Protein backbone atom coordinates (compact mmCIF):
# COMPACT_ATOMS: atom_id res chain seq x y z
CA UNK A 1 0.00 0.00 0.00
CA UNK A 2 1.07 3.60 -0.47
CA UNK A 3 2.66 5.72 2.20
CA UNK A 4 0.33 7.32 4.75
CA UNK A 5 2.15 10.62 5.40
CA UNK A 6 -0.45 12.10 7.78
CA UNK A 7 -0.41 9.20 10.23
CA UNK A 8 3.36 9.06 9.84
CA UNK A 9 3.60 12.71 10.83
CA UNK A 10 1.67 12.06 14.07
CA UNK A 11 3.90 9.08 14.94
CA UNK A 12 7.02 11.13 14.20
CA UNK A 13 5.65 13.95 16.34
CA UNK A 14 5.27 11.52 19.25
CA UNK A 15 8.81 10.23 18.67
CA UNK A 16 10.10 13.80 18.57
CA UNK A 17 8.55 14.44 22.00
CA UNK A 18 10.32 11.36 23.37
CA UNK A 19 13.60 12.17 21.61
CA UNK A 20 13.72 15.78 22.77
CA UNK A 21 17.28 16.63 23.86
CA UNK A 22 18.93 13.71 22.10
CA UNK A 23 21.81 14.56 19.82
CA UNK A 24 21.67 11.29 17.84
CA UNK A 25 18.30 10.57 16.20
CA UNK A 26 19.40 8.43 13.23
CA UNK A 27 16.95 5.58 12.60
CA UNK A 28 14.41 6.87 15.12
CA UNK A 29 11.98 8.52 12.70
CA UNK A 30 9.94 7.18 9.82
CA UNK A 31 10.55 8.33 6.27
CA UNK A 32 7.71 6.11 5.01
CA UNK A 33 4.78 4.39 6.68
CA UNK A 34 1.79 2.68 5.07
CA UNK A 35 -1.53 1.26 6.25
CA UNK A 36 -0.19 -2.30 6.03
CA UNK A 37 2.32 -1.45 8.74
CA UNK A 38 -0.37 0.19 10.88
CA UNK A 39 -2.43 -2.98 10.51
CA UNK A 40 0.53 -5.19 11.48
CA UNK A 41 3.29 -3.47 13.44
CA UNK A 42 5.52 -6.58 13.18
CA UNK A 43 6.19 -5.70 9.52
CA UNK A 44 8.29 -2.75 10.74
CA UNK A 45 12.01 -3.44 11.15
CA UNK A 46 12.83 -3.68 14.84
CA UNK A 47 16.49 -3.00 14.14
CA UNK A 48 15.91 0.16 12.13
CA UNK A 49 12.90 1.58 13.99
CA UNK A 50 12.61 0.18 17.54
CA UNK A 51 10.58 3.12 18.92
CA UNK A 52 8.38 3.35 15.83
CA UNK A 53 7.23 -0.27 16.21
CA UNK A 54 5.91 0.57 19.67
CA UNK A 55 4.26 3.77 18.43
CA UNK A 56 2.45 1.96 15.61
CA UNK A 57 1.31 -0.83 17.95
CA UNK A 58 -0.18 1.73 20.35
CA UNK A 59 -1.60 4.08 17.71
CA UNK A 60 -5.14 2.68 17.36
CA UNK A 61 -5.97 2.12 21.08
CA UNK A 62 -4.52 5.53 21.98
CA UNK A 63 -6.47 7.21 19.17
CA UNK A 64 -9.71 5.63 20.44
CA UNK A 65 -8.98 6.80 23.97
CA UNK A 66 -8.25 10.37 22.83
CA UNK A 67 -11.48 10.43 20.81
CA UNK A 68 -13.39 9.34 23.93
CA UNK A 69 -11.63 11.93 26.10
CA UNK A 70 -12.10 14.86 23.72
CA UNK A 71 -15.25 14.00 21.73
CA UNK A 72 -14.13 15.94 18.62
CA UNK A 73 -16.72 17.03 16.09
CA UNK A 74 -15.42 14.77 13.32
CA UNK A 75 -16.28 11.66 15.41
CA UNK A 76 -19.77 12.67 16.60
CA UNK A 77 -22.72 10.86 15.03
CA UNK A 78 -26.49 10.55 15.63
CA UNK A 79 -28.59 7.40 15.19
CA UNK A 80 -32.11 6.08 15.50
CA UNK A 81 -31.42 2.55 16.78
CA UNK A 82 -34.47 0.90 15.22
CA UNK A 83 -36.52 -1.89 16.76
CA UNK A 84 -35.81 -2.89 20.37
CA UNK A 85 -34.40 -6.38 20.93
CA UNK A 86 -34.55 -8.97 23.67
CA UNK A 87 -31.82 -11.48 24.54
CA UNK A 88 -31.58 -14.73 26.48
CA UNK A 89 -29.67 -13.10 29.34
CA UNK A 90 -30.50 -10.94 32.36
CA UNK A 91 -30.17 -7.19 31.95
CA UNK A 92 -31.45 -5.83 35.23
CA UNK A 93 -34.48 -3.57 35.42
CA UNK A 94 -33.92 -1.95 32.02
CA UNK A 95 -37.05 -1.98 29.90
CA UNK A 96 -35.48 -1.78 26.42
CA UNK A 97 -32.36 -3.08 24.68
CA UNK A 98 -31.05 -1.78 21.34
CA UNK A 99 -28.24 -2.89 19.07
CA UNK A 100 -25.70 -0.13 18.45
CA UNK A 101 -24.26 1.08 15.11
CA UNK A 102 -21.34 -0.92 13.71
CA UNK A 103 -19.06 2.12 14.03
CA UNK A 104 -20.00 2.72 17.70
CA UNK A 105 -17.12 3.67 20.00
CA UNK A 106 -18.71 5.39 23.00
CA UNK A 107 -22.06 6.84 24.07
CA UNK A 108 -22.39 10.58 24.58
CA UNK A 109 -26.11 10.76 25.39
CA UNK A 110 -29.59 9.53 24.56
CA UNK A 111 -31.70 12.47 23.48
CA UNK A 112 -34.97 13.49 21.90
CA UNK A 113 -34.80 13.30 18.10
CA UNK A 114 -35.71 16.60 16.50
CA UNK A 115 -34.62 18.71 19.46
CA UNK A 116 -33.08 21.76 17.65
CA UNK A 117 -30.27 22.15 20.17
CA UNK A 118 -29.97 18.40 20.75
CA UNK A 119 -29.87 19.20 24.45
CA UNK A 120 -32.92 17.42 25.85
CA UNK A 121 -32.26 15.85 29.25
CA UNK A 122 -33.83 12.43 29.74
CA UNK A 123 -35.18 11.28 33.09
CA UNK A 124 -32.56 8.56 33.44
CA UNK A 125 -29.19 8.00 31.82
CA UNK A 126 -29.01 4.91 29.61
CA UNK A 127 -26.25 2.34 29.99
CA UNK A 128 -24.11 0.42 27.51
CA UNK A 129 -23.99 -3.26 28.50
CA UNK A 130 -21.63 -5.95 27.23
CA UNK A 131 -23.10 -9.38 26.49
CA UNK A 132 -21.14 -12.54 25.80
CA UNK A 133 -22.67 -15.08 23.39
CA UNK A 134 -26.25 -13.85 23.41
CA UNK A 135 -29.21 -14.89 21.22
CA UNK A 136 -32.19 -12.84 20.11
CA UNK A 137 -35.52 -13.65 21.76
CA UNK A 138 -38.88 -12.90 20.14
CA UNK A 139 -42.53 -13.44 21.01
CA UNK A 140 -44.33 -16.20 19.10
CA UNK A 141 -47.94 -16.05 17.95
CA UNK A 142 -48.76 -18.56 20.71
CA UNK A 143 -47.86 -16.10 23.50
CA UNK A 144 -44.59 -17.88 24.24
CA UNK A 145 -41.00 -16.63 23.84
CA UNK A 146 -38.45 -18.21 21.47
CA UNK A 147 -34.69 -17.79 21.15
CA UNK A 148 -32.87 -17.87 17.82
CA UNK A 149 -30.89 -21.07 17.32
CA UNK A 150 -29.71 -20.37 13.76
CA UNK A 151 -28.56 -16.94 12.61
CA UNK A 152 -30.77 -15.88 9.68
CA UNK A 153 -32.71 -13.06 8.07
CA UNK A 154 -36.39 -13.53 8.90
CA UNK A 155 -38.74 -14.36 6.03
CA UNK A 156 -42.49 -14.63 5.43
CA UNK A 157 -43.25 -18.35 5.50
CA UNK A 158 -46.66 -18.66 7.12
CA UNK A 159 -47.27 -22.09 5.58
CA UNK A 160 -44.72 -23.88 7.78
CA UNK A 161 -47.16 -24.42 10.64
CA UNK A 162 -44.70 -23.21 13.29
CA UNK A 163 -45.93 -21.21 16.31
CA UNK A 164 -43.67 -18.27 15.49
CA UNK A 165 -45.22 -15.74 13.11
CA UNK A 166 -44.15 -16.55 9.53
CA UNK A 167 -40.59 -17.58 10.42
CA UNK A 168 -40.41 -21.13 11.78
CA UNK A 169 -38.15 -23.22 9.57
CA UNK A 170 -36.36 -24.65 12.61
CA UNK A 171 -34.70 -21.31 13.38
CA UNK A 172 -36.30 -20.87 16.80
CA UNK A 173 -36.38 -22.85 20.07
CA UNK A 174 -38.80 -22.39 22.96
CA UNK A 175 -37.25 -20.08 25.55
CA UNK A 176 -40.12 -19.42 27.96
CA UNK A 177 -43.86 -19.85 28.20
CA UNK A 178 -43.92 -16.14 29.09
CA UNK A 179 -44.20 -14.44 25.71
CA UNK A 180 -43.53 -11.10 27.39
CA UNK A 181 -39.83 -12.00 27.58
CA UNK A 182 -39.53 -11.66 23.80
CA UNK A 183 -39.73 -8.63 21.53
CA UNK A 184 -41.99 -8.36 18.49
CA UNK A 185 -40.86 -10.43 15.48
CA UNK A 186 -40.25 -8.50 12.24
CA UNK A 187 -39.71 -9.71 8.71
CA UNK A 188 -36.36 -8.91 7.08
CA UNK A 189 -34.39 -8.69 10.35
CA UNK A 190 -30.97 -10.35 10.74
CA UNK A 191 -31.59 -12.39 13.89
CA UNK A 192 -28.55 -13.77 15.73
CA UNK A 193 -28.09 -17.14 17.39
CA UNK A 194 -24.74 -16.30 18.93
CA UNK A 195 -23.31 -12.80 19.23
CA UNK A 196 -20.99 -10.89 21.51
CA UNK A 197 -20.98 -7.15 21.87
CA UNK A 198 -22.44 -3.97 23.29
CA UNK A 199 -26.15 -3.16 23.58
CA UNK A 200 -27.82 0.04 24.75
CA UNK A 201 -30.07 -0.43 27.80
CA UNK A 202 -32.66 2.28 28.50
CA UNK A 203 -36.12 2.88 29.94
CA UNK A 204 -36.93 5.66 27.50
CA UNK A 205 -37.99 5.79 23.84
CA UNK A 206 -36.75 9.05 22.35
CA UNK A 207 -37.02 9.02 18.55
CA UNK A 208 -39.64 11.04 16.69
CA UNK A 209 -41.97 8.05 16.21
CA UNK A 210 -41.76 7.06 19.88
CA UNK A 211 -40.73 3.48 19.13
CA UNK A 212 -36.93 3.56 19.41
CA UNK A 213 -33.94 5.17 21.09
CA UNK A 214 -32.18 8.15 19.49
CA UNK A 215 -28.57 8.66 20.53
CA UNK A 216 -25.55 10.88 20.08
CA UNK A 217 -22.36 8.82 20.03
CA UNK A 218 -18.69 8.74 19.10
CA UNK A 219 -17.82 6.72 16.01
CA UNK A 220 -14.65 4.96 14.99
CA UNK A 221 -14.17 3.60 11.47
CA UNK A 222 -10.78 2.56 10.14
CA UNK A 223 -9.84 4.01 6.77
CA UNK A 224 -9.45 0.55 5.30
CA UNK A 225 -12.51 -1.04 6.92
CA UNK A 226 -14.65 -2.47 4.12
CA UNK A 227 -13.49 0.24 1.77
CA UNK A 228 -15.22 2.87 3.92
CA UNK A 229 -13.23 6.06 4.44
CA UNK A 230 -13.76 6.57 8.15
CA UNK A 231 -13.17 10.14 9.27
CA UNK A 232 -12.15 8.98 12.74
CA UNK A 233 -9.08 7.28 11.26
CA UNK A 234 -8.08 10.05 8.83
CA UNK A 235 -5.83 12.81 10.23
CA UNK A 236 -6.89 15.06 7.34
CA UNK A 237 -10.04 15.74 9.38
CA UNK A 238 -8.17 16.43 12.65
CA UNK A 239 -7.74 19.98 13.96
CA UNK A 240 -4.11 20.76 14.80
CA UNK A 241 -4.98 20.84 18.51
CA UNK A 242 -6.29 17.24 18.28
CA UNK A 243 -3.08 16.13 16.55
CA UNK A 244 -1.02 17.70 19.33
CA UNK A 245 -3.07 15.95 22.01
CA UNK A 246 -2.89 12.60 20.20
CA UNK A 247 0.89 12.78 19.73
CA UNK A 248 1.42 13.76 23.36
CA UNK A 249 -0.77 10.94 24.69
CA UNK A 250 0.99 8.50 22.36
CA UNK A 251 4.37 9.64 23.68
CA UNK A 252 3.16 9.20 27.28
CA UNK A 253 2.02 5.63 26.60
CA UNK A 254 5.44 4.82 25.14
CA UNK A 255 7.15 5.56 28.47
CA UNK A 256 7.33 1.95 29.58
CA UNK A 257 10.48 1.79 31.70
CA UNK A 258 10.30 2.49 35.42
CA UNK A 259 12.84 5.27 34.97
CA UNK A 260 10.34 7.01 32.68
CA UNK A 261 7.59 7.15 35.33
CA UNK A 262 8.04 10.84 36.16
CA UNK A 263 8.27 11.70 32.47
CA UNK A 264 5.05 9.79 31.80
CA UNK A 265 3.25 11.78 34.50
CA UNK A 266 4.50 15.06 33.04
CA UNK A 267 3.32 14.05 29.55
CA UNK A 268 -0.09 13.01 30.87
CA UNK A 269 -0.41 16.39 32.57
CA UNK A 270 0.53 18.06 29.31
CA UNK A 271 -2.03 15.94 27.48
CA UNK A 272 -4.74 17.09 29.88
CA UNK A 273 -3.79 20.73 29.31
CA UNK A 274 -3.94 20.21 25.54
CA UNK A 275 -7.22 18.30 25.56
CA UNK A 276 -9.42 20.16 28.02
CA UNK A 277 -9.18 23.80 26.86
CA UNK A 278 -9.53 22.91 23.20
CA UNK A 279 -12.69 20.83 23.62
CA UNK A 280 -15.50 20.65 26.15
CA UNK A 281 -16.72 17.08 26.26
CA UNK A 282 -20.37 16.89 25.16
CA UNK A 283 -21.09 14.26 27.80
CA UNK A 284 -19.96 16.69 30.50
CA UNK A 285 -22.45 19.24 29.22
CA UNK A 286 -25.26 16.72 29.54
CA UNK A 287 -24.14 15.68 33.02
CA UNK A 288 -24.05 19.34 34.07
CA UNK A 289 -27.59 19.85 32.77
CA UNK A 290 -28.79 16.82 34.71
CA UNK A 291 -27.13 18.11 37.90
CA UNK A 292 -28.69 21.55 37.42
CA UNK A 293 -32.11 20.03 36.73
CA UNK A 294 -31.89 17.84 39.84
CA UNK A 295 -30.81 20.80 41.99
CA UNK A 296 -33.69 22.89 40.61
CA UNK A 297 -36.21 20.12 41.34
CA UNK A 298 -34.93 19.84 44.90
CA UNK A 299 -35.21 23.58 45.46
CA UNK A 300 -38.70 23.80 44.02
CA UNK A 301 -39.92 20.70 45.90
CA UNK A 302 -38.45 21.86 49.19
CA UNK A 303 -36.42 18.66 49.69
Q: Is 26's pLDDT higher than 70?
A: no
Q: Residues with Cβ < 8 Å from 81, sequence gap 6 or more?
A: 98, 99, 100, 101, 200, 207, 212, 213, 214, 215
Q: With a threshold of 0.75, does the pTM exceed it?
A: yes
Question: What pLDDT, on the 0 to 100 scale, is given for residue 261?
Answer: 85
Task: Quick: pLDDT tens for 207-256.
Answer: 999 999 999 999 998 765 444 456 678 898 899 999 999 999 999 999 88
Highest mean pLDDT, choosing among 43-57, 205-219, 282-296? 205-219
**In whole angstroms, what is the distance from residue 180 CA to residue 177 CA?**
9
Q: Which of 31-40, 95-104, 156-165, 214-223 has the lowest mean pLDDT?
A: 156-165
Treating both helix axes as pointing N-terminal to C-terminal, what angle do 50-70 and 240-253 enclose, rounded to 10 degrees? 120
Question: What pLDDT, on the 0 to 100 scale, is given for residue 247?
Answer: 96
pLDDT band for position 281 (cuts 50, 70, 90):
very low
Dihedral angle of Cα 7, 218, 88, 202, to the nearest 10 degrees: 170
**In whole angstroms, what is the distance from residue 191 CA to residue 125 CA?**
27
Interval 259-268 mean pLDDT: 88
Q: What is the mean pLDDT of the chain?
A: 81
Task: Quick: pLDDT tens for 134-176.
Answer: 999 999 888 899 999 989 888 876 655 456 756 656 788 999 9
Question: What pLDDT, on the 0 to 100 scale, is given for residue 44?
Answer: 82
Question: What pLDDT, on the 0 to 100 scale, is given for residue 30?
Answer: 83
Q: Is 280's pLDDT higher than 50?
A: no
Which helix (H) or strand (E) covers residue 246, if one does? helix 240-253
Interval 256-263 mean pLDDT: 80
Number of residues in the chain: 303
**Could you tell me what percent of the chain has a pLDDT over 70?**
77
The larger pLDDT score, comparing residue 59 to residue 169, is at 59
**Could you tell me what percent of the chain has a pLDDT over 90?**
45
pLDDT band for position 279 (cuts 50, 70, 90):
very low
Q: Where are the alpha helices (DSSP H) in 2-154?
A: 5-18, 35-39, 50-70
Task: Quick: pLDDT tens for 174-198.
Answer: 999 998 999 998 888 899 999 999 9
pLDDT band for position 40 (cuts 50, 70, 90):
confident
Task: Quick: pLDDT tens for 1-25.
Answer: 577 889 999 999 998 888 775 555 5
**In whole angstroms, what is the distance from residue 13 CA to residue 7 CA?**
10
Question: What pLDDT, on the 0 to 100 scale, is given for residue 266?
Answer: 92
Cβ atoms 180, 201 nearer than 8 A? no
Question: What pLDDT, on the 0 to 100 scale, is given for residue 165?
Answer: 59
**In whole angstroms, what is the distance from residue 62 CA to residue 56 CA?**
10
Which helix (H) or strand (E) covers residue 146, if one does? strand 145-148
Amino acid sequence: MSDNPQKRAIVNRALAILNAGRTATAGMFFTALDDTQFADWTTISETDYPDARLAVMLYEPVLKQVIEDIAPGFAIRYADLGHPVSVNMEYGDWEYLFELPTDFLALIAQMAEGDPGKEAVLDRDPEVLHFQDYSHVVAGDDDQAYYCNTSHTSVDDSSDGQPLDDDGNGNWTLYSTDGGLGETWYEGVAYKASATGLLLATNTLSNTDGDSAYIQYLAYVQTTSGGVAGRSDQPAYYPESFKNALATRLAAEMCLDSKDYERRLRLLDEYESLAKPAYWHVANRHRDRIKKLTAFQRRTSGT
